[in-house]
Amino acid sequence: MIFNSLEFFGFLTVVYLAYRIFPFRWQNWMLLIAGYVFYGWWDVRFLFLIAFSTTVDFSIGLLLAEEKMPALQRRTASLFLIGAAYFFLCINWAALSVSGNFDMTAFFTPQTMGLEVLGGTIVFVFIANLLINHVSQLPMERRRKILIFCSVFVNLAFLGFFKYFNFFIDSGENAFRSIGIDPTNLRLSVVLPVGISFYTFQSLSYTIEVYRRRVVPTSRFWDFALFVAYFPPMVAGPIERAQHLLPQLTNPRRIRLTQSMDGIVLILLGLFKKVAIADGVAPAVNAVFSSSGAVSQSDVALATLLFAIQILCDFSGYSDIARGVSKLFGIDLILNFNLPYFSKNPSEFWRRWHISLSSWLRDYLYIPLGGSRRGTVRTYINLFLTMLLGGLWHGAAWNYVLWGAYQGALLCGHRLLTGGHETLPTSQEAVGGTTDIHGGAVSAPRLLPSWISTPLRMGLFFLFCCYGWMLFRAHSFDQIRTFTELLFGFGANAPSVITKPTTSALLGIVVLIALQVCDYRAGVLESFTRWRPALQGLLYAILFFILIMGTSNAPVQFIYFQF
């Protein structure tokens, strides 16, 4: 189920109407069920992964702060995980999709793989309960270290297995063949669960924050289950922090009219970005990056520029819709984008782009590695390694690793040239969103008036940023080499293959640039909400009109679903 579909808006309508009728506790139950329905729409079997992460991290969270895990919570977590294994894996959910006669017998016929996982789950629960008894008897600090290791290991093992197993098998293909092993026999036919990186990082951040004693663990299992499975940010972010989202889920909410109106505007803006612009430029981008490499220099330049627009509108469009939908429920999500293409340097860019991920990497990778506290050389190593792993987070492909290395090199180079101290968003920015629309970057000495130097610096860094997007979008090292040669005038030009973006995309880009310039000059996001009512109404009519035009574009899956 995707945001830009009629089925989602039918789903949202039912959920919203029920939400407005139910009392607080029933609202949470309904949102939890809605989250599982929303995610299970892709594949019911993957709900077991969410249930597993929920059970493990809830249990570890309690054990990190209490002497013993209460019996009620232990029973609830154990029965939930076993029930999830049966309900999501053993039942033949494919029978529901069969048109015509519904075979009840086939629906309840246990699936072989499901029975195996169910058996393994029962064994796991039994052993886990024995280990809980043993761990509870250890000294507190030793117990805490063991528990946080278990949380990190389990979450990253699940993520690594589904996302990177085949990648490492393919990367080591020659090594396997040299010792007489056929790597094709080792590859797994496993579909990557949608958004696994997002909800895994969100769940993992909870146990880390509890370990650091920054968050008091919740004793209500179902509240934590909702924290993991809250559906608006579930598959493409923003990656929420427990200290920001959990209090909103565990306390009664008051839905204000202004908040609901802001939510509707964000949904409109997000759909406008995704449907009218991102989907409208996608064919032009695909025509070049899906080619054999026989393209012109102008093709590569234009396709790279259009991909920079596509990925911004696609990803920030999802975040806008997620924030908008959440506002309808009286819940605020953190800010994930803050005019990233107005950045003047890589440090500022990562204060503006995918803020929830860059701040996660800072707090849970860069700082634990030592940050800038262990000398200059170590600082550069930590910074580069953080961005390298950030690139790998995006996907199991070497071009993402190269993109991460490129971003790390830009950050290191900027730090070397300017002596900047902050390279990634601060913890406060991660939790509440940055309050400085201009990025809070370290000011450099001015050799030119700001009205000249600022646009020049923005334009120069945007070129560096676009080259990074070329690395990100390319499908092979050969394509990267060919396109780089063309960009720098060393390759052989071929006839142009790029197609013209749709009318909705061209009009939408003009409107979006105008809106973002207004935001930057006003110093506040969505500054149009402060316009006179007549001007606001005209703008919303224009956005809606271009959105309707964009419905003729071929739908494209959100880019970050694959991550």
Gap between the Cα atoms of 162 and 171, Å rounded: 16
Gap between the Cα atoms of 505 and 498, Å rounded: 15
Determine which helix (DSSP H) or strand (DSSP E) holds 302, and give its type and residue range. helix 297-328
Gap between the Cα atoms of 404 and 563, Å rounded: 14
What are the percentages of helix, strand and coil residues in the chain, rounded to 5? 70, 0, 30
Name the catalytic one among 134, 354, 394, 421. 394
CA angle 357-154-127, nearest 5°? 155
Report H helices in 136-238: 140-171, 173-178, 196-211, 221-229
Gap between the Cα atoms of 550 and 490, Å rounded: 38
Contact between 333 and 240 (Cβ < 8 Å): yes
Tokens of 356: 């929830």
Of the candidates 248, 444, 247, 232, the one whose C-alpha atom is nearest the C-alpha of residue 345 is 444
Gap between the Cα atoms of 442 and 419, Å rounded: 9
- What's the per-residue H, E or C state across 80-107? HHHHHHHHHHHCCHHHHHCCCCCCHHHH
Contact between 295 and 474 (Cβ < 8 Å): no
Of the candidates 89, 86, 107, the one whose C-alpha atom is nearest the C-alpha of residue 98 is 107
Q: Would you call 134 a catalytic residue per the annotation?
A: no
Residues acting as catalytic residues = 394
